[in-house]
């Protein structure tokens, strides 16, 4: 079986633009709405949206690779990187590094992707690693770069990348294409098409010893953001994480062909899904502010602590809802106080109660404030 980079015609991918026409239009329309909504937010709310979206992408892109990061640490690092007020929080190297790359993506949406910028991103993503030889440069080892799974002796090769001595030429062609197809380039491409091709192309080259997935997704985010006049972010990796099994399968299927309609259609759907998720988050944060404003002065310290903890979970809230046990754990309140506090929150319209006895759960009544 030949890999895509071994095929005649590489790297001239082929696709039918008509398949993506409606999706491309929807992406730009959604982006314009998102930009307009952000402009109507106050400074604090706008900062919260940015931090939530960037941290979601940082956590998700790392989780795709099986790395679990600390949310508070990532958010604290992002706030420092973006010059926002941040609590004193010592971040681990992994959290600090991914936050630095996300902040660079957000601050410089229209900066070109250059070799120097990729090397900087690699140093950020590999921050604190001692097991990687080539950091901040392309891989240089002689053995094949393969993506494999399965136990030793029964391994399956999902992909093999070009050898190390091909990387300078391969990456040179990709970077030239990114410049040529940018909105200001000689041959501009629509946002979803350009981002989808860029991501697939980069992953097909797999130029680094490690971190290719995270950097490849950053390239895709950069391509999407670069198509919009104002900095915005959709947390694409959150959508890709949600469909991680399909994501790997689609990349693997696209690694043996230059006909990429199926990959581009799938990628476009994930990008649009990410946009909808980002829009939902913005709406949630707006309603969150109204929700807490309405209850200001009517809550005791325990109740406020629990509501803020629930709101911190985002639009999805607590999985399965809040239980009396959760409330007691968060506040340290005895059963009688817990029961009284929860009943009071229901009466005030802050929570909705479902179920009976041990199955009783509480969810935020935030939708009624729309």
Q: Catalytic residue positions?
A: 206
The span from the CA of 267 to the CA of 197, in Å, is 9
Q: Is 215 annotated as a binding residue?
A: yes
Give the separation between CA 197 and CA 137, rounded to whole angstroms: 23
Does 362 carry a binding-site annotation?
Answer: no
Q: What is the DSSP string of 127-160?
A: TT-SS-S--SS----SS--EEEESSTTS-EEEEE
Residue 244 marked in a binding site: no
Check the annotation: does 42 bind a ligand.
Answer: no
Q: Are 252 and 266 in contact (CB under 8 A)?
A: no
CB distance 203 to 219 below 8 Å = no
Q: Which three-class secondary structure state does DSSP give residue 165?
A: helix
Q: Which two tokens stand for residue 156?
A: 């399956």
Burial class (CB in 10 A: 0-12, 13-18, 19+), 235: buried
Helix (H) or strand (E) holding 361: strand 361-364
214 labelled binding-site residue: yes
User: Would you say how long the chain is, in residues?
Assistant: 370
Are 137 and 243 contacting, i.e. CB atoms less than 8 angstroms apart?
no
**Residue 130, annotated ligand binder?**
no
Cα(226)–Cα(229) distance, integer angstroms = 7
> Could you give the CA distance from residue 240 to residue 273 in angstroms, rounded to a whole number?
9
Q: Any binding-site annotation on 213?
A: yes
325 is in an annotated binding site: no
Is there a cis peptide before residue 11, judged by omega within 30 degrees of 0?
yes
Q: Report the binding-site residues for ATP.
A: 210-217, 247-248
Q: Report the binding-site residues.
A: 210-217, 247-248
């Amino acid at each position: 079986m030949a890999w895509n980079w071994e095929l005649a015609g590489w790297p001239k991918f082929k696709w039918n633009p008509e398949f993506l026409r409606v999706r491309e239009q929807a992406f730009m329309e959604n982006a314009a709405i998102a930009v307009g909504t952000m402009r109507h937010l106050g400074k604090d709310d706008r900062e919260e949206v940015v931090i939530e979206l960037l941290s979601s992408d940082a956590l998700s892109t790392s989780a795709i690779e099986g790395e679990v990061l600390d949310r508070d640490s990532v958010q604290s690092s992002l706030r420092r990187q973006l010059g926002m007020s941040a609590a004193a929080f010592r971040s681990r190297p992994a959290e600090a590094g991914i936050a630095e790359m996300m902040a660079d993506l957000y601050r410089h949406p229209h900066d070109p992707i250059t070799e120097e910028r990729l090397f900087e991103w690699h140093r950020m993503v590999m921050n604190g690693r001692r097991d990687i030889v080539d950091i901040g440069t392309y891989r240089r080892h002689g053995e094949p770069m393969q993506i494999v799974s399965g136990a030793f002796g029964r391994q399956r090769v999902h992909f093999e990348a070009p050898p190390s001595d091909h990387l300078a030429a391969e990456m040179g062609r990709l970077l030239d294409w990114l410049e040529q197809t940018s909105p200001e380039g000689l041959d501009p491409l629509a946002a979803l098409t350009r981002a989808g091709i860029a991501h697939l192309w980069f992953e097909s080259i797999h130029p680094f010893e490690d971190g290719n997935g995270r950097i490849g997704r950053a390239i895709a985010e950069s391509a999407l953001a670069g198509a919009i006049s104002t900095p915005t972010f959709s947390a694409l990796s959150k959508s890709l994480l949600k469909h991680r099994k399909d994501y790997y399968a689609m990349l693997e299927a696209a690694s043996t062909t230059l006909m990429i309609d199926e990959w581009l259609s799938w990628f476009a759907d994930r990008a649009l899904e990410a946009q909808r998720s980002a829009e939902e988050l913005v709406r949630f944060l707006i309603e969150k502010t109204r929700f807490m404003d309405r209850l200001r002065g009517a809550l005791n310290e325990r109740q406020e602590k629990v509501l803020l903890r629930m709101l911190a979970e985002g639009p999805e809230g607590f999985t399965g809802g809040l239980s009396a046990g959760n409330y007691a754990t968060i506040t340290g309140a005895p059963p009688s106080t817990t029961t009284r506090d929860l009943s009071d929150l229901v009466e005030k319209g802050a929570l909705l109660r479902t179920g009976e006895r041990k199955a009783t759960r509480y969810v935020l009544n935030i939708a009624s404030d729309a």
